[in-house]
Amino acid sequence: MCNPFDSIDSIGSIDCIPFPIYLGFNWWTSRGIDSTSSIDYNTDSKAIIMSRNETQNMRSRSNHTIRPQVRGKDSLDRFGDDLCRLLLSYLPLEDRFRYECVSKQWQRLIYETQTELSFKYRSLDSFGVNINDKESVNEILDILDYLSPINVLS
């Protein structure tokens, strides 16, 4: 048994430990389960702890290099890249071009989830770039790095 928190037996003291997130999980599941099976759980949750720590490290690194100041709870800057990327994935393409200059985090993430381009009536999406206007279309394709193969539908 390699769970370092086995000795802690009051839930209150667990609450004070901020990281790793899954500590509570570890402790909680290992109760009432016999020792042979809880070894499996420990290795399992360790893997989770490692990946959690990794993303957390990445986030805190980007926080330190790009945004040294601590942001308030009502600021979107508190969201890490994963959540921010997901949020931005609901934007239409036109808004993505417009909001590229909101912040470096947005610039980094905003085109990542744009994997499709759609054409309507021979013009691009909702803003009227003609499909024959090679220069404009190329410019757009230059910006959109994450496109999967493009299907042109009539």
Partner 1 sequence: MNGEYSLDTTEGMAASGDPPTNNAVDDYDAEEALERQREEENKIKIKLKSFEGGVYECGLTAAKMSVMVANMLDALQETDLTKIATREPIPLQNDAVTNKALEKIVEWVDHHWDDPPIDPDFDDEKERRNEELSHWDKQFIDIADQGELFDIIAAANFMDIKGLVEVGAKHICNKIKGKSCTEVREMLKIHNDFTPEEEAAIHKENEWIYAKD
**Beta carbon of residue 124, minimum distance to partner 1 (angstroms, whole number):** 11
The answer to whether 130 contacts partner 1 (rule: CB under 8 A) is: no
The answer to whether 121 contacts partner 1 (rule: CB under 8 A) is: no
The answer to whether 55 contacts partner 1 (rule: CB under 8 A) is: no
The answer to whether 131 contacts partner 1 (rule: CB under 8 A) is: no
Helix (H, G, I), strand (E, B) or coil at 47: helix
**Contacts for 130-135: CB closer than 8 Å, 24+ residues apart:** none
**Beta carbon of residue 119, minimum distance to partner 1 (angstroms, whole number):** 16
Token couple for 32 = 């009432």
Q: Which member of 5, 25, 46, 137 binds partner 1 (CB under 8 A)?
A: 25
Q: Which amino acid is at 36?
A: T
**Beta carbon of residue 45, minimum distance to partner 1 (angstroms, whole number):** 8
Distances 62 to 57, 67, 99, 131, 145 between C-alpha atoms, Å: 9, 7, 20, 38, 22
Query: By CB under 8 A, how many residues form the interface with partner 1?
Result: 52
In degrees and rounded to multiples of 5, residue 110 shows phi and psi of: -65, -30
Residues 67-96 that bind partner 1 (CB under 8 A): 67, 69, 71-79, 82-83, 86-87, 89-91, 94-95
